[in-house]
Chains A and B, each alone.
Chain A
Amino acid sequence: MGKHENINELLTAFALGELSQQQISEVKIHLAECPQCSNELRQLEALLECTRRIREFSTNAQICDSAKQAIFAAVEREKTKHTSGPNISPESIWRKIMKSPITKVAAAAVIVLAGFIVINQFGGSIDGTTKAFGQITENMKKMPWLHGVVDAAGERLEAWFSFERRVVASKRVPGEIRYNDGLKQTEQTYIPDANTITISYTTTDQLAEIGSSVLDLPKYILKLFDDTKEKIIQEAVKYKGKDAKIYKMAGVLGGMDMRVEMIVDADKNLLLFVNQKVFDKTGTLQMDANAYFDYPENGPNNIYEIGVPTSAKIVRPEKDKTAFGKAFEEAIEVVDKRENWPEPRNLAVAYWKARTAKNYDEMAIFWPGSATWNRQVIENEESIEYVFGEAQTAELEDDIIVPYATKSYYEKHGKYSLKMRLTNRKSTKGRYYIYSGN
């Protein structure tokens, strides 16, 4: 074996710090003259650094408690022989759905959608309704705000969504209040017992996640329907004095009998109400959930508007600030070095163009810090067409505002609904860059 091979064999031990002083010296001498080994060592060290970070991850107490409860419940079911059905237990899917405030609200609509897909695939009996139903979730996404209240399993969850403003706010009773701003990429969580608002930079665009949940959950739940003898009934009803349609569906999910009633606005084809009942094999009611939906013109602008007291103490993780700040400073350097930096309005246009093209590097420069964006979510995001107004001076501070809106909103209302805020505070050349999305 030659010297290169001998030293190469020692690289993992070198990276792990297992070598003697003499061996270390030999390796170092070889590294200075061998680019291949140097590169391999850098990869090994990067791997170790990656796993060092992973080692710091741990689940929180809430997840641990939830997992324990789930296994105790599963064991109880095993004991009572309620184990037939698909490989994925109903608890598993329910836990996933009910765990997340987002899917919890979306689930009410989505489970019904899955039912319709079942009907459609297995020779459904209601012509035209499948397509009409598929349109419901799309219609919901186009409204300025979607407000939902879900009563399930002894808990009440109230949530507000704006696909246009990319805001998700939720209030659990009893429990925490959250305000997720997809454009600012921040999430605020209010914990009532501690009276604190914890601010974090989020890598999750929850709205995009809702979109993907709405699209993906039916497929997921569809797997669990192990009985294709569902019945579906459609009737005309009045709901709060307005013409509506009620759909009643029954199916078997994971060995459990599920009954769903859904009320849809007859004119606008928007979901208004869902009731889900789940019975076990003995006919005992296991779950009775109601979800109410309405579509207000305005929604909460901040976490205080959904019940958080102004006395709450704000907690900002120091580590987050440091990492975010670092990405920010790096981006500003590029802002200052670039030739032909765009004027404010064109900058806003360029940002959205980069986002549509999924050009993450450009996005991060036009909007410093947006390297924190969740790439996976954007990867699956449908492109939205935006229109932009003329840049104007902001009322406060020396910032510039570029008004904009989705094309569909602008065509419908003839005005802009969003404001992109640009500043030049950190740029040494006075160049504007984006720092807020609304």
Chain B
Amino acid sequence: MLKQDFKALINDYSAQVLNTAVRILGDAHKAQDVHQEVFLEIWRRWNKYDGQTNWKAYLYRTTVRKAIHLAKKSRAERLFEQQPEYTSKEGPDGSLRAAELQQKLAGCLARLPKRQAEVFVLSRMEGLKAEQIAELLGCSRKTVRVHLHRAMKRLARELGDYLMK
């Protein structure tokens, strides 16, 4: 593969990767770290890709996995607190509330079974339809639906009263 292809990949998908990561993590710096990890990993294995890779699907899954992993790690470290640097259509208290919820949600997502977390993020945070998720994850629409419903029930229960404040 030519180096130019890798550059094109970054240009095409950087925004997708960053947006997914910032929605999960609520922190632009951490999202950039995920971005770097995702693409560096691809670069290191660049010769192994056969040109048939569905990059959109691959990047969604890898980003969600890495962002959730980082959310888990961050809970332990908390060394470098930063406020989110995303743009939001909400006002200041709305943004703050959402940012707080994001942190809680990221923590709960990290405890969900991997596939449930993936489906939930793609459906509710990325706004993808069940058909699209099924295609991305290589499973049936019914499976997507089951994972989504289970994830929602568990998250609603775990976030519980905090959501109702």
The interface of chain A, by Cβ under 8 A from chain B, is 11-13, 15-16, 40, 42-44, 46-48, 50-60, 63-64, 66-68, 70-72, 74-75, 78, 89, 91-92, 95-96, 99-100, 185, 200-204, 209, 212, 216-217, 219-220, 319-324, 326-327, 371-372, 374-376, 380
Contact B36 A71 (CB under 8 A): yes
Residues of A within 8 A of B155 (CB): 47
- Cα A63 to Cα B19 in complex, Å, equals 10
Residues of A within 8 A of B61 (CB): none
Q: Tell me if B75 is interfacial: C-beta within 8 Å of chain A.
A: no
Selected contact of A57 from candidates B10, B23, B96, B124, CB within 8 Å: B23
Residues of B within 8 A of A217 (CB): 80
Across the two chains, which residue of chain B brings its CB closest to A97?
Answer: B80
Contact A57 B88 (CB under 8 A): yes
Q: Tell me if B160 is interfacial: C-beta within 8 Å of chain A.
A: yes
Contact A50 B29 (CB under 8 A): no
Contact B92 A92 (CB under 8 A): no
Whether A40 touches B156, Cβ cut-off 8 Å, given contacts A50-B163, A55-B127, A202-B92, is yes
Q: How many residues of B contact A (CB 8 A)?
A: 61
Selected contact of A50 from candidates B35, B44, B105, B149, CB within 8 Å: B105
Contact A53 B83 (CB under 8 A): no
- Cα A167 to Cα B32 in complex, Å, equals 28
- Cα A50 to Cα B106 in complex, Å, equals 12
Selected contact of A74 from candidates B36, B88, B93, B163, CB within 8 Å: B36
Across the two chains, which residue of chain A brings its CB closest to B89?
Answer: A56
- Cα A372 to Cα B93 in complex, Å, equals 5
Selected contact of A55 from candidates B40, B43, B125, CB within 8 Å: B125
Give the contacts of B1-30 with A (CB-CB under 8 A): 6-7, 10-11, 14-15, 18-19, 22-23, 26, 28-29
**Min CB–CB distance B165 → chain A (angstroms):** 9
Residues of A within 8 A of B117 (CB): none
Selected contact of A324 from candidates B79, B93, B153, B159, CB within 8 Å: B93
Whether A92 touches B33, Cβ cut-off 8 Å, given contacts A43-B160, A43-B164, A59-B28, is yes
Across the two chains, which residue of chain A brings its CB closest to B91?
Answer: A323
The 10 closest A-B pairs by CB, nearest first: A323-B91, A46-B163, A201-B92, A51-B124, A43-B156, A372-B92, A57-B86, A12-B149, A59-B18, A203-B96
Q: Tell me if B99 is interfacial: C-beta within 8 Å of chain A.
A: yes
Contact B81 A212 (CB under 8 A): yes
- Cα A99 to Cα B149 in complex, Å, equals 40
Contact A47 B163 (CB under 8 A): yes
- Cα A376 to Cα B156 in complex, Å, equals 23
Residues of A within 8 A of B87 (CB): 57-60
Identify the interface centre among A54, A58, A92, A321: most chain B CB within 10 Å of its CB: A54
Contact B15 A200 (CB under 8 A): no
Residues of A within 8 A of B14 (CB): 64, 67-68, 71
Residues of A within 8 A of B113 (CB): none
Whether A66 touches B124, Cβ cut-off 8 Å, given contacts A47-B152, A71-B40, is no
- Cα A409 to Cα B102 in complex, Å, equals 39
Residues of B within 8 A of A100 (CB): 82
Across the two chains, which residue of chain B brings its CB closest to A92?
Answer: B33
Contact B32 A63 (CB under 8 A): yes
Residues of B within 8 A of A51 (CB): 105, 124-125
Q: Tell me if B134 is interfacial: C-beta within 8 Å of chain A.
A: no
Contact B98 A50 (CB under 8 A): yes
Selected contact of A59 from candidates B7, B86, B89, CB within 8 Å: B86
**Min CB–CB distance A397 → chain B (angstroms):** 25
- Cα A353 to Cα B8 in complex, Å, equals 56
Identify the interface centre among B26, B156, B164: most chain A CB within 10 Å of its CB: B156
Contact B91 A75 (CB under 8 A): no
Whether A56 touches B79, Cβ cut-off 8 Å, given contacts A50-B105, A71-B10, is no
- Cα A280 to Cα B9 in complex, Å, equals 28
- Cα A51 to Cα B163 in complex, Å, equals 11
Q: Mind listing 5 A-B residue pairs with CB under 8 Å?
A: A54-B23, A55-B125, A56-B88, A320-B91, A372-B93
Whether A319 touches B91, Cβ cut-off 8 Å, given contacts A55-B124, A219-B79, is yes
**Min CB–CB distance B84 → chain A (angstroms):** 8
Across the two chains, which residue of chain A brings its CB closest to B34?
Answer: A67
- Cα A202 to Cα B99 in complex, Å, equals 13
